[in-house]
Protein backbone atom coordinates (compact mmCIF):
# COMPACT_ATOMS: atom_id res chain seq x y z
CA UNK A 1 0.00 0.00 0.00
CA UNK A 2 2.68 2.48 -0.91
CA UNK A 3 1.40 5.93 -1.80
CA UNK A 4 2.32 6.88 -5.33
CA UNK A 5 1.85 10.61 -5.43
CA UNK A 6 4.43 11.39 -8.09
CA UNK A 7 5.50 10.17 -11.51
CA UNK A 8 8.97 9.26 -10.28
CA UNK A 9 7.65 6.87 -7.62
CA UNK A 10 5.50 5.14 -10.25
CA UNK A 11 8.62 4.24 -12.19
CA UNK A 12 10.10 2.51 -9.13
CA UNK A 13 6.86 0.67 -8.50
CA UNK A 14 6.93 -0.59 -12.09
CA UNK A 15 10.45 -1.84 -11.54
CA UNK A 16 9.41 -3.86 -8.48
CA UNK A 17 6.54 -5.33 -10.49
CA UNK A 18 9.04 -6.50 -13.10
CA UNK A 19 11.08 -8.21 -10.39
CA UNK A 20 7.94 -9.91 -9.20
CA UNK A 21 7.29 -11.23 -12.64
CA UNK A 22 10.82 -12.59 -12.80
CA UNK A 23 10.09 -14.63 -9.64
CA UNK A 24 6.96 -16.10 -11.15
CA UNK A 25 8.97 -19.01 -12.35
CA UNK A 26 9.51 -20.06 -8.73
CA UNK A 27 5.80 -20.58 -8.25
CA UNK A 28 4.83 -17.14 -7.15
CA UNK A 29 1.58 -15.66 -8.13
CA UNK A 30 2.25 -13.93 -11.33
CA UNK A 31 -0.08 -11.11 -10.42
CA UNK A 32 2.74 -9.59 -8.33
CA UNK A 33 4.61 -10.00 -5.09
CA UNK A 34 2.83 -10.36 -1.79
CA UNK A 35 3.85 -7.05 -0.09
CA UNK A 36 4.40 -8.68 3.29
CA UNK A 37 6.24 -11.59 1.84
CA UNK A 38 8.80 -9.25 0.33
CA UNK A 39 9.17 -6.90 3.28
CA UNK A 40 12.70 -6.77 4.60
CA UNK A 41 12.81 -7.24 8.36
CA UNK A 42 14.25 -4.30 10.30
CA UNK A 43 17.66 -4.59 11.92
CA UNK A 44 17.67 -3.88 15.66
CA UNK A 45 20.69 -2.23 17.20
CA UNK A 46 21.48 0.12 20.04
CA UNK A 47 24.22 1.51 22.20
CA UNK A 48 24.21 2.23 25.89
CA UNK A 49 26.07 4.50 28.28
CA UNK A 50 25.86 3.56 31.94
CA UNK A 51 26.66 5.73 34.93
CA UNK A 52 26.23 4.10 38.27
CA UNK A 53 23.00 2.13 38.16
CA UNK A 54 21.46 4.11 35.27
CA UNK A 55 21.89 3.46 31.56
CA UNK A 56 20.95 5.72 28.67
CA UNK A 57 20.06 3.71 25.57
CA UNK A 58 20.31 5.08 22.03
CA UNK A 59 18.42 3.34 19.28
CA UNK A 60 20.48 2.57 16.11
CA UNK A 61 17.92 0.32 14.38
CA UNK A 62 17.26 0.56 10.67
CA UNK A 63 14.95 -0.79 8.02
CA UNK A 64 16.25 -1.02 4.47
CA UNK A 65 12.85 -0.81 2.78
CA UNK A 66 10.76 1.17 5.22
CA UNK A 67 10.75 2.64 8.67
CA UNK A 68 11.19 1.35 12.18
CA UNK A 69 7.93 2.17 13.90
CA UNK A 70 7.91 0.38 17.23
CA UNK A 71 10.41 -0.21 20.00
CA UNK A 72 10.12 -2.82 22.74
CA UNK A 73 12.88 -2.80 25.30
CA UNK A 74 13.34 -5.52 27.88
CA UNK A 75 15.97 -4.48 30.36
CA UNK A 76 16.50 -7.94 31.80
CA UNK A 77 15.26 -6.97 35.23
CA UNK A 78 11.55 -7.48 34.47
CA UNK A 79 11.24 -3.85 33.46
CA UNK A 80 10.25 -2.70 29.98
CA UNK A 81 9.98 0.46 27.92
CA UNK A 82 8.51 1.36 24.54
CA UNK A 83 10.19 4.69 23.84
CA UNK A 84 12.87 5.14 21.19
CA UNK A 85 15.78 6.18 23.43
CA UNK A 86 14.95 5.21 26.98
CA UNK A 87 16.92 5.72 30.15
CA UNK A 88 16.66 3.03 32.78
CA UNK A 89 17.76 2.85 36.40
CA UNK A 90 18.54 -0.64 37.61
CA UNK A 91 17.78 -1.39 41.23
CA UNK A 92 20.95 -3.37 41.84
CA UNK A 93 24.39 -3.66 40.37
CA UNK A 94 25.33 -6.51 38.02
CA UNK A 95 25.18 -7.63 34.40
CA UNK A 96 21.83 -7.48 32.63
CA UNK A 97 20.89 -8.70 29.15
CA UNK A 98 18.97 -5.92 27.45
CA UNK A 99 16.86 -6.91 24.46
CA UNK A 100 15.50 -4.47 21.89
CA UNK A 101 12.79 -5.67 19.52
CA UNK A 102 11.83 -3.28 16.72
CA UNK A 103 8.85 -3.40 14.41
CA UNK A 104 8.80 -1.87 10.95
CA UNK A 105 5.98 -0.31 8.97
CA UNK A 106 5.02 -3.72 7.58
CA UNK A 107 4.94 -5.44 10.96
CA UNK A 108 8.28 -7.07 10.36
CA UNK A 109 10.38 -7.45 13.49
CA UNK A 110 14.00 -7.70 14.41
CA UNK A 111 15.66 -8.01 17.79
CA UNK A 112 19.05 -7.75 19.38
CA UNK A 113 20.36 -8.42 22.85
CA UNK A 114 23.36 -6.90 24.53
CA UNK A 115 24.79 -7.20 27.99
CA UNK A 116 25.18 -4.10 30.12
CA UNK A 117 26.97 -3.92 33.43
CA UNK A 118 25.91 -1.45 36.07
CA UNK A 119 27.51 -0.75 39.40
CA UNK A 120 26.32 0.77 42.64
CA UNK A 121 28.04 4.16 42.77
CA UNK A 122 30.40 4.76 45.69
CA UNK A 123 28.87 6.52 48.66
CA UNK A 124 29.03 10.30 48.43
CA UNK A 125 30.03 12.38 51.42
CA UNK A 126 27.34 14.31 53.29
CA UNK A 127 27.38 18.11 53.28
CA UNK A 128 27.52 19.66 56.73
CA UNK A 129 25.63 22.92 57.11
CA UNK A 130 23.90 24.84 59.87
CA UNK A 131 22.43 28.17 60.82
CA UNK A 132 23.06 30.07 64.02
CA UNK A 133 20.96 32.85 65.49
CA UNK A 134 21.86 34.68 68.66
CA UNK A 135 19.93 36.78 71.11
CA UNK A 136 22.41 38.52 73.34
CA UNK A 137 24.58 35.70 74.71
CA UNK A 138 22.22 32.85 73.83
CA UNK A 139 22.65 31.19 70.45
CA UNK A 140 20.51 28.61 68.73
CA UNK A 141 22.10 26.20 66.26
CA UNK A 142 19.99 24.53 63.60
CA UNK A 143 21.23 21.65 61.47
CA UNK A 144 20.55 21.88 57.73
CA UNK A 145 23.02 19.21 56.60
CA UNK A 146 22.22 16.95 53.67
CA UNK A 147 23.34 13.64 52.19
CA UNK A 148 22.30 13.21 48.58
CA UNK A 149 22.57 9.40 48.53
CA UNK A 150 21.77 8.49 52.09
CA UNK A 151 21.07 9.97 55.46
CA UNK A 152 22.99 11.89 58.09
CA UNK A 153 23.10 9.75 61.22
CA UNK A 154 25.41 11.60 63.60
CA UNK A 155 26.17 15.19 64.56
CA UNK A 156 29.10 16.57 66.55
CA UNK A 157 28.91 20.24 67.51
CA UNK A 158 31.70 22.36 68.91
CA UNK A 159 30.34 25.72 69.98
CA UNK A 160 33.72 27.44 70.06
CA UNK A 161 33.88 27.94 73.81
CA UNK A 162 34.82 24.39 74.71
CA UNK A 163 31.25 23.13 74.92
CA UNK A 164 29.62 20.77 72.45
CA UNK A 165 26.66 18.55 71.70
CA UNK A 166 25.78 15.44 69.74
CA UNK A 167 22.12 16.36 69.26
CA UNK A 168 20.97 17.21 65.77
CA UNK A 169 19.49 20.50 66.98
CA UNK A 170 20.95 21.25 70.38
CA UNK A 171 19.18 23.45 72.90
CA UNK A 172 20.12 27.14 72.93
CA UNK A 173 23.71 27.60 74.05
CA UNK A 174 24.73 30.36 76.46
CA UNK A 175 28.10 32.10 76.07
CA UNK A 176 29.79 33.65 79.09
CA UNK A 177 31.07 36.70 77.21
CA UNK A 178 31.39 40.08 78.88
CA UNK A 179 32.07 41.97 75.65
CA UNK A 180 31.46 41.56 71.96
CA UNK A 181 33.17 38.28 71.06
CA UNK A 182 33.60 36.37 67.80
CA UNK A 183 33.15 32.63 68.15
CA UNK A 184 33.82 29.93 65.60
CA UNK A 185 31.47 26.94 65.81
CA UNK A 186 31.95 23.62 64.03
CA UNK A 187 29.55 20.91 63.00
CA UNK A 188 30.80 17.50 61.85
CA UNK A 189 28.18 15.19 60.40
CA UNK A 190 28.47 11.49 59.56
CA UNK A 191 26.36 9.70 56.96
CA UNK A 192 24.98 6.17 57.05
CA UNK A 193 28.13 4.89 55.30
CA UNK A 194 30.53 6.53 57.72
CA UNK A 195 31.68 9.46 55.59
CA UNK A 196 31.96 12.81 57.33
CA UNK A 197 31.76 16.51 56.50
CA UNK A 198 32.76 19.57 58.49
CA UNK A 199 31.28 23.06 58.46
CA UNK A 200 32.70 26.00 60.37
CA UNK A 201 30.94 29.31 60.90
CA UNK A 202 31.97 32.48 62.69
CA UNK A 203 29.45 34.63 64.46
CA UNK A 204 29.38 37.42 66.98
CA UNK A 205 27.75 37.51 70.37
CA UNK A 206 27.42 40.56 72.56
CA UNK A 207 25.94 41.23 75.96
CA UNK A 208 22.80 43.31 75.95
CA UNK A 209 23.33 47.06 75.67
CA UNK A 210 22.59 48.75 78.99
CA UNK A 211 22.00 52.39 79.81
CA UNK A 212 25.11 54.53 79.32
CA UNK A 213 25.10 58.19 80.29
CA UNK A 214 27.73 60.70 79.22
CA UNK A 215 29.29 61.22 82.61
CA UNK A 216 31.22 64.31 81.58
CA UNK A 217 29.34 66.00 78.76
CA UNK A 218 31.46 66.66 75.70
CA UNK A 219 34.00 63.96 76.51
CA UNK A 220 32.24 61.20 74.65
CA UNK A 221 32.78 59.00 77.69
CA UNK A 222 29.72 57.02 78.64
CA UNK A 223 29.30 55.05 81.83
CA UNK A 224 26.64 52.80 83.22
CA UNK A 225 23.76 54.74 84.68
CA UNK A 226 20.16 54.49 85.80
CA UNK A 227 17.19 56.77 85.37
CA UNK A 228 16.06 58.03 88.78
CA UNK A 229 12.49 59.15 89.44
CA UNK A 230 12.63 62.36 91.45
CA UNK A 231 8.93 62.19 92.39
CA UNK A 232 6.28 59.53 92.67
CA UNK A 233 5.54 58.91 89.01
CA UNK A 234 4.24 56.49 86.43
CA UNK A 235 6.46 55.89 83.42
CA UNK A 236 5.74 55.96 79.70
CA UNK A 237 8.11 54.42 77.14
CA UNK A 238 7.73 55.43 73.49
CA UNK A 239 9.44 54.22 70.33
CA UNK A 240 10.25 57.52 68.60
CA UNK A 241 12.15 56.44 65.50
CA UNK A 242 14.14 53.63 63.99
CA UNK A 243 16.67 53.12 61.21
CA UNK A 244 17.75 49.49 61.17
CA UNK A 245 16.95 46.18 59.58
CA UNK A 246 18.18 43.45 61.94
CA UNK A 247 15.50 41.25 63.36
CA UNK A 248 15.37 40.53 67.04
CA UNK A 249 16.20 43.89 68.60
CA UNK A 250 14.55 43.50 71.98
CA UNK A 251 13.91 46.32 74.44
CA UNK A 252 13.45 45.46 78.07
CA UNK A 253 13.00 47.36 81.30
CA UNK A 254 15.07 45.40 83.83
CA UNK A 255 14.42 47.41 87.01
CA UNK A 256 12.44 48.03 89.12
CA UNK A 257 10.56 45.26 87.30
CA UNK A 258 11.23 43.10 84.26
CA UNK A 259 9.11 43.99 81.27
CA UNK A 260 9.83 43.26 77.62
CA UNK A 261 8.27 46.01 75.54
CA UNK A 262 9.13 44.73 72.07
CA UNK A 263 11.21 41.97 70.51
CA UNK A 264 11.68 43.06 66.90
CA UNK A 265 12.23 46.79 67.13
CA UNK A 266 13.37 47.38 63.56
CA UNK A 267 9.94 46.19 62.40
CA UNK A 268 7.40 46.46 65.17
CA UNK A 269 5.74 48.08 66.98
CA UNK A 270 4.88 51.06 64.80
CA UNK A 271 6.98 54.17 65.32
CA UNK A 272 5.10 56.32 67.81
CA UNK A 273 3.81 53.42 69.88
CA UNK A 274 3.83 54.19 73.62
CA UNK A 275 3.80 51.78 76.53
CA UNK A 276 2.70 52.47 80.09
CA UNK A 277 5.17 50.68 82.29
CA UNK A 278 3.52 48.05 84.45
CA UNK A 279 0.06 49.22 83.30
CA UNK A 280 0.63 52.75 84.60
CA UNK A 281 1.64 51.83 88.15
CA UNK A 282 3.06 54.73 90.14
CA UNK A 283 6.62 54.14 91.29
CA UNK A 284 7.97 55.80 94.42
CA UNK A 285 10.31 58.78 94.30
CA UNK A 286 13.89 57.54 94.20
CA UNK A 287 13.10 54.49 92.05
CA UNK A 288 15.92 53.66 89.68
CA UNK A 289 14.85 52.57 86.21
CA UNK A 290 17.17 50.33 84.25
CA UNK A 291 16.79 49.12 80.70
CA UNK A 292 18.60 47.15 78.03
CA UNK A 293 18.43 46.39 74.34
CA UNK A 294 19.42 42.98 73.02
CA UNK A 295 20.79 43.32 69.51
CA UNK A 296 19.39 40.85 67.01
CA UNK A 297 22.26 41.54 64.61
CA UNK A 298 24.65 38.63 64.08
CA UNK A 299 27.38 40.64 62.31
CA UNK A 300 28.20 43.26 64.88
CA UNK A 301 31.47 45.09 64.34
CA UNK A 302 31.10 47.01 67.57
CA UNK A 303 29.33 46.13 70.76
CA UNK A 304 25.71 47.32 70.71
CA UNK A 305 25.27 50.35 72.92
CA UNK A 306 22.48 52.42 74.45
CA UNK A 307 23.30 56.09 75.01
CA UNK A 308 21.18 58.23 77.27
CA UNK A 309 20.61 61.98 77.03
CA UNK A 310 18.14 64.19 78.86
CA UNK A 311 17.22 64.40 82.50
CA UNK A 312 14.25 63.78 84.70
CA UNK A 313 11.40 63.67 83.70
CA UNK A 314 12.29 62.76 80.11
CA UNK A 315 15.25 60.80 78.82
CA UNK A 316 16.13 59.83 75.26
CA UNK A 317 17.70 56.42 74.70
CA UNK A 318 19.62 56.06 71.43
CA UNK A 319 20.47 52.50 70.47
CA UNK A 320 23.09 51.31 68.04
CA UNK A 321 22.95 47.65 67.07
CA UNK A 322 26.70 47.39 66.37
CA UNK A 323 26.36 46.66 62.66
CA UNK A 324 29.26 48.36 60.93
CA UNK A 325 29.33 50.67 57.95
CA UNK A 326 30.00 54.24 56.91
CA UNK A 327 29.25 56.71 59.72
CA UNK A 328 28.60 53.91 62.18
CA UNK A 329 27.86 53.68 65.01
CA UNK A 330 25.14 56.24 64.35
CA UNK A 331 22.90 55.62 67.37
CA UNK A 332 19.73 55.93 65.34
CA UNK A 333 18.83 52.29 64.98
CA UNK A 334 16.23 52.72 67.70
CA UNK A 335 15.38 55.95 69.49
CA UNK A 336 13.24 55.55 72.58
CA UNK A 337 12.03 58.09 75.10
CA UNK A 338 11.31 57.35 78.76
CA UNK A 339 9.03 59.87 80.41
CA UNK A 340 8.09 60.12 84.06
CA UNK A 341 4.53 61.30 84.71
CA UNK A 342 4.41 62.74 88.23
CA UNK A 343 1.51 61.36 90.21
CA UNK A 344 -1.19 63.97 90.94
CA1 LIG B 1 10.85 -3.43 6.22
CA1 LIG C 1 26.25 9.51 51.57
CA1 LIG D 1 23.74 51.84 63.60
CA of 191 to the centre of ligand 2 (A): 5
> Residue 297: what pLDDT?
83
283 in a structural domain: yes
> Residue 217: what pLDDT?
78
CA of 1 to the centre of ligand 1 (A): 13
26 in a structural domain: no
> For 331-340, what is each residue's pLDDT tens digit?
999 999 999 9
Task: Answer yes or no: do 330 and 219 share one domain.
Answer: yes
| Ligand (nearest to CA of 2) | 1
CA of 4 to the centre of ligand 1 (A): 18
182 in a structural domain: yes
> Residue 36: what pLDDT?
57
| Ligand (nearest to CA of 147) | 2
Whole-angstrom distance, CA of residue 163 vs CA of residue 156: 11
101 in a structural domain: yes
CA of 195 to the centre of ligand 1 (A): 55
Residue 69 domain boundaries: 43-121
Of 272, 336, 327, give the one whose Cα is nearest residue 307.
336
CATH of the domain at 338: 2.60.120
> For 152-205, what is each residue's pLDDT tens digit?
999 999 999 999 999 999 999 999 999 999 999 999 999 999 999 999 999 999
> Residue 199: what pLDDT?
98
Query: Of 205, 227, 256, which residue is a domain's last?
Result: 205
Q: What mean pLDDT is predicted for residues 54-58?
A: 98
13 in a structural domain: no
> For 58-74, what is each residue's pLDDT tens digit?
999 999 999 999 999 99
The SS3 of residue 70 is strand
| Ligand (nearest to CA of 151) | 2
Of 225, 245, 233, give the one whose Cα is nearest residue 281.
233
Task: Decide: 1 and 106 in contact? Cβ < 8 Å.
Answer: no
CA of 152 to the centre of ligand 2 (A): 8
176 in a structural domain: yes
313 in a structural domain: yes
**Number of separate domains in the chain:** 3
| Ligand (nearest to CA of 189) | 2
CA of 235 to the centre of ligand 3 (A): 27
| Ligand (nearest to CA of 150) | 2
Whole-angstrom distance, CA of residue 121 vs CA of residue 225: 66
pTM: 0.65
| Ligand (nearest to CA of 39) | 1
Task: Decide: 58 and 48 in contact? Cβ < 8 Å.
Answer: yes
Task: Answer yes or no: do 200 and 213 share one domain.
Answer: no
| Ligand (nearest to CA of 66) | 1
Amino acid sequence: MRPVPSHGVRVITAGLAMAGLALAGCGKDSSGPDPDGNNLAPTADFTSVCTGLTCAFTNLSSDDDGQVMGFAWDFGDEQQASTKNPSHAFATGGEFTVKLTVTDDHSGTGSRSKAVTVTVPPNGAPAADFTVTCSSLDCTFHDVSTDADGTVVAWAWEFGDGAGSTEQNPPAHHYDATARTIYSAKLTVTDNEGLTSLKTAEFTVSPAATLLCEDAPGTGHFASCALVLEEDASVTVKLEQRSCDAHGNTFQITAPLAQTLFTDGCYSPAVGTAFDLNDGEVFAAGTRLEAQVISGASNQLTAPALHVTGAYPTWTLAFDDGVGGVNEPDFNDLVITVTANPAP
